[in-house]
Amino acid sequence: MKAVKYAFVAATVFVLLAVSFFYSRREAESVVYTRQLMGTVVELTLMDGEAARFDEAAEAAFSEISRLEGIFSSYRDDSDVARINAAAGEGLVDIRPETIEVLREALLVGSISDGAFNPAIGALGKVWGHSGEKGEVPPADEIKKLLPYVDLAGVLLREHESQAGLKRKGMAINLGGVAKGYIVSKAASVLEKKGVTKAIIHAGGDMLVFQRNGDKPFIIGIQHPREKKLLGEARVYNGAVATSGDYERFFIKDNVRYHHILDPRTGFPSKGVQGVTLMAKDPTEADALSTAVFVLGPEKGMALIEKLKDVEGVIVDENGRVTVSSGFQGKIY
């Protein structure tokens, strides 16, 4: 009998309330748009700006998200990711400018996290599924055979030539831990171009808030990784909030929780952390770093957060113990 359950809970952080009534000028009515994209629910809350164009702005943002999803997806044969993987061991392929940006961030976070974040994790997709969706525990020896292909140094990026590649056949990249943050930032640019001056963009564990002349922060609720309650709140004026958790995509087998964030050293779901929420200026950085900190664990993960400028965060370890970074602006209940 297969005692495997696959669970998927989309929303991990959400906005508690956005204080608007103190403004001297009346804001537009907030309008919320939702769409199923990138394997999650994308929610756009348009709060101020040219309200008559909100529908058009949301539509344009959704099409941009959909276009970018096609570039980074591990599930589509014609994505840049799939083309790089198909050519593994056979040289470099031409990639789009967007892929250069995402790969650059992936390699940077890979390097500052000592390989805890590793885009070459794609080699393990064969046995776990690209985001753990196979729902079965692969034999340990099969995983062991794949580990040499989870090789950060074997991911080649030639920015000037707009090319990327993988050193050896059997290697593969997966940008699932960083692309969503990048896509959220691009969606925000589209909204701003369409006259939106204040908005919340939320896609699974990645969120970005912006406001052009705001003097009040957004208050963002941080979901508790185990209980149906909030862990706390964060105050953010403009910036990103990213969450990585073992409660988003997982299955339980023989009382062990198998989730979608893998430890590149073992090839198994990483241990020690239940959830990480990070605040940073840039959503791409926040997304990759939250995955990195999750893998690094509470001590090394918090040390990395403290080392980085303008990055703050909250880590809940495997026993439910909460650690908060020194500059965290918010409240843990």
Q: In the complex, which residues of this chain contact ligand ADP (CB under 6 A)? A: 117-119, 121, 130-131, 174, 176-177, 180, 204-205, 244, 248-249, 260-262, 264, 287, 290-291, 295
Nearer to ligand ADP, 233 or 263 (CB): 263
Nearer to Mg ion, 40 or 290 (CB): 290
Any idea how long the chain is?
333
* Closest distance to Mg ion from the beta carbon of 13 (Å): 13
Q: DSSP character for 262?
A: B
Convert residues 150-189 into a mask of x (bound to Mg ion by CB under 5 A) and - (unbound).
Answer: ---------------------------x------------
Closest C-alpha among 198, 199, 195, 187 to residue 53 = 195
SS3 284: helix
**List 204, 291, 311, 313, residue binding Mg ion (CB under 5 A):** 291
Q: Which residues contact 288 (CB under 8 A, 6 or more apart)?
A: 105, 106, 109, 117, 177, 178, 181
Rounded (10°) angle between helices 179-193 and 54-72: 150
Residue 142: both structure tokens together: 């099969």
Nearer to ligand ADP, 214 or 267 (CB): 267
* Closest distance to ligand ADP from the beta carbon of 173 (Å): 9
Name the binder of 200 from ligand ADP, Mg ion, none, CB < 5-8 A by kind.
none
Name the binder of 277 from ligand ADP, Mg ion, none, CB < 5-8 A by kind.
none
* Closest distance to ligand ADP from the beta carbon of 288 (Å): 7
Q: Kindly indicate which of the ranges 28-36, 122-130, 222-230, 282-290 contains the residues binding Mg ion, using the contact rule CB under 5 A.
A: 282-290
**List 105, 263, 287, 312, residue binding Mg ion (CB under 5 A):** 287
Name the binder of 204 from Mg ion, ligand ADP, none, CB < 5-8 A by kind.
ligand ADP
Phi, psi of 203 (to 5 degrees): -135, 105
* Closest distance to ligand ADP from the beta carbon of 3 (Å): 22
* Closest distance to ligand ADP from the beta carbon of 153 (Å): 15
Neighbour count for residue 144 (Cβ, 10 Å):
11
Q: Is 290 in the site for Mg ion (CB under 5 A)?
A: yes
Name the binder of 146 from Mg ion, ligand ADP, none, CB < 5-8 A by kind.
none
Residue 223: both structure tokens together: 């979901």
SS3 223: strand
Q: DSSP character for 308?
A: S
* Closest distance to Mg ion from the beta carbon of 36 (Å): 20
Give the strands of the sheet with 163-166, arranged side by side. 93-94, 163-166, 155-158
Chain-centre distance for alpha carbon 91: 29
Q: Are 199 and 191 in contact (CB under 8 A)?
A: yes
Interface with Mg ion (CB under 5 A)? 177, 287, 290-291
